[in-house]
A and B are shown apart, each in its own frame.
Chain A
Amino acid sequence: MQEALGRCVASWCPGAAGVTNVARLSGGASQETWSFDIGHPDGVIGAILRRAPQGHGASPRAVGLDVESILMQRAFDAGVPSPRVLHVLRPQDELGTGFIMARVEGETIPRKILRDAGFAQARPRLARQIGGILAAIHGLDLAQLPGLRRMTAAKEIDEMERDYRSFEWPRPVFALALRWLRERDPGPSREVTLVHGDFRHGNLIIGPDGVRAVLDWELAHGGDPMEDLGWVCVNSWRFGEIDKPVGGFGTRAELFAGYEAAGRRVDPDRVKYWEVMGTLRWGMMCCGMMQRFRIGPERSIERAMIGRRSSETEIDLLRLLAPRGK
């Protein structure tokens, strides 16, 4: 790995003097992430390689790493906190498909961001800042971006219904939520924008100064901009701080204020609708993890246990659709 990376870096980074500290970061199932340092006379350059393992079939929802690198670069150019893309892999690099980006220092682990003293100054500001970042993402010109799939609430419900049937495991709460979503579908959004699709804890690098980078554009698509605002409010991303709907650190009012301060409008009813959709979507994803555990070949206990988190989304759906004591 070190050798191949060294050859690759030498081909596009003038003055590069080899790579060191090559380390595999996450055990992501669909993609690999590697961290390494590029030796350079002007100082060490921290870098990240994101690539698809050889021969791995991508999810039909995923945009592909080539598109991801373009989105990340466009977001960077538009002032969205984003890692700079340094190089897109070519066949002669012999590293598979993917890209190399600048490493951004900071934290992605939610519990640290929500509890550590080092982030105490950032926390009260994050929801508003995130509103501004989402407004910038939604302001990118969709016509200038590579072809992305278009999603609507109706299509999303169809996909989830298909997923749900494929599990062959009865879940009355999911059936109730699917029905609720169909009956209240607000119709296609008047404005169709770039939607990040997975804007939440884990995909944001945060420092004591706030959000430093938005990662993981794998699920990007064209659609209702309110989807991103609803997804970031899903209870599963509050990590115990359930009274602070935005990522466990802020209020909807702060999120909306940051969004509108950037010159865009919020539709709170649509945001709420997408929060219900997102809660069910995460529940379906948990069930999908359980399927992958069962099918193998990798019988990951972690995936099996994520399957047992689908009930968390059931209680959250009931809290949204059938609150008690009211």
Chain B
Amino acid sequence: MFDLLDYATLKFVWWILVGVLLMGFAITDGMDMGVGVLLPFVARTDAERRIAINTVGPHWDGNQVWLITAGGAIFAAWPAVYAAAFSGFYMAMLLVLFALFFRPVGFDYRSKIDDTLWRSAWDWGLFVSGAVPALIFGVAFGNLLQGVPFHLDDMLRSHYQGSLLTALLPLLNPFALLAGVISLGMLTVHGALWLQLRADDPVASRARKTTVALAPVVALLFLGAGVWLWFGVDGFRVVSAPPHDAASNPLAKEVARVAHAWFDIYAVVPAAKAAPVAGVLGPIVAGLLASARRPGLGFVANAFGMVGIIGSAGLSMFPFIMPSSIDPRSSLTIWDAASSHFTLTVMFVAAAILLPIVLGYTIWCYARMWGRVTADQIEAQSHSAY
């Protein structure tokens, strides 16, 4: 077909694009998950809970597509990563999936039956469907940074060490759990800022107190994780590898585990330091803006913070996507886990055309539905609102 971009450039572009999709997920669907986490706590009566739910009601489904599309893009652009990560993290993926089951039905079914037990059961369902994926996505990043126990055989089939609990429990190590708590914390803050923008009091004011208390904690934990990464986690470094535009074959390279290697990028590309700086400052500024009653700007600041936190994890590992702790040369990098030049080109064209269109109508939908959700509105639309 057409050689729009050379192969090495496209591999790099797809690393950016997958990052953009994950950040898009955190900013949009992360907010819904945060609202789900906060639901049982900042909204106490049925009316308050319906207010909180209806602030994200029209949008959660579209937002969730960021996650689905990120999964699809990883499948199309990095099939080796999709294969090794989804099957390796089998138990964790199932937990995420089973938790996510409660979202569509939680939103749509909750208010269709007027019964306290029914509704509060779905409220906790929405809590689980927000908290569990938010935690586990962070845990996954925490494990990627430490390397994952898998190897590729000579047919490039991926094998993971352990099954059931022997596969799951090692994933729940202290560093990974810290990463999980950071992820849970940043999405919760994000949801709280959204509630301040769109929900009526007292939900909004409770959400403000949560933000002011929680946002600095997120910044502190992220900083702590950075220090831990420097002192306690060995990074990975490519020692020798085929050229970047070679056909994808992970087994053709040499990889070494080196202390502090996860900080290489910040020396080579000083501008990369912007990511961790944003990761620390974003939540702090968001907390300050919330206490100054400027939740709109706070929402933007926290979005920058999340981009910084996710970006830091991606940049630190560059060019690794999924390092292997038991067979370092099986590690998957952006250069050797990618699809063919042709497929990356087709997908790039599709994304370049479709993503702007998606952004356009998404903004239109938010604009049409804008406004504070009040108890009176819910009362007036009690048969149609969530």
Do A and B bind? no
* Chain B interface residues (CB < 8 Å from chain A): none
* Chain A interface residues (CB < 8 Å from chain B): none
